[in-house]
Amino acid sequence: MRSLILLFFVLITGPSLAETPGEPPAGKAVATFAGGCFWCVEEAFDGVDGVESTTSGYTGGDTVDPTYQQVSSGGTGHAEAVRVVYDPDVVSYRRLLDVFWHNIDPTVEDRQFCDVGSQYRSAIFFHDDNQRRLARETRTEIEESGVLPGPVKTEIVPAQTFYIAEDYHQNYHQENPIRYKWYTSGCGRYDRLETLWGEKARTG
């Protein structure tokens, strides 16, 4: 479905990819999450107090400077992901994890909702030992809670090179609200989140 939405943009817009800087701005921190469609992951974090910016991109694979067409074909090893720059004095990494978990379906492998393939896998790309520890702790808490109908399949792996996606992907939910609503509705994302998480769906 999303390929139909993007066909026009793909035809008229060339790649505009660049590797993100390795260090966050002074006093800020970085988190990286993959949860299927990166438009939706951006939306989830844009409303969180303390989040300074969200950027859609590609990470986790081997292809250098991948394009959307390459990633969406499933041959690069990359996942659609979002780089979150946040103020740790305002929002904790644990809080970001809480938002992440309640905006994905952790029970499936190599897909999210209507998007199928390893490029749509869910993953936490940790940037340091503390992020790794908290990611594992929260995964264990969710598994032991019994709230989900199956085991957690979400990867917890070291952060790798992050490539910024093409301009037309950035802030898509704000720039193209009608198309975005059509996509999320047709994909069944919000309905599935409510089934999985109940009142905690989308917010944590």
Alpha-carbon distance 52 to 45, whole Å? 10
- CA distances to 2, 8, 115 from 125, rounded to whole Å, are 25, 31, 20
User: Is the four-CA dihedral 16, 20, 25, 27 of positive or negative sign?
Assistant: positive
Catalytic residue among 37, 40, 114, 187: 37
Q: Which of helix, strand or coil describes residue 31?
A: strand
Chain segment 83-120, per-residue pLDDT in tens: 999 999 999 999 999 999 999 999 999 999 999 999 99
How much is the pTM? 0.89
Alpha-carbon distance 102 to 204, whole Å? 5
- On average, the pLDDT of the chain sits at 91
141 Cβ contact partners less than 8 Å away, ≥ 6 residues apart: none
Instruction: Name the pLDDT band for 126 (thresholds 50, 70, 90).
Output: very high
DSSP alpha helix (H) spans, 102-176: 129-145, 172-175
User: Is the four-CA dihedral 143, 37, 41, 76 of positive or negative sign?
Assistant: positive
Phi-psi region of 50 (alpha: psi -120 to 50; beta: other; left: phi over 0): left
Give CATH superfamily name and number for 2-200. Peptide methionine sulphoxide reductase MsrA (3.30.1060.10)
For the cut 60, the answer to whether the pLDDT of residue 15 exceeds it is no
Instruction: Name the pLDDT band for 49 (thresholds 50, 70, 90).
Output: very high
**Residue 40 a catalytic site member:** no
Q: Where are the domains of the chain?
A: 2-200
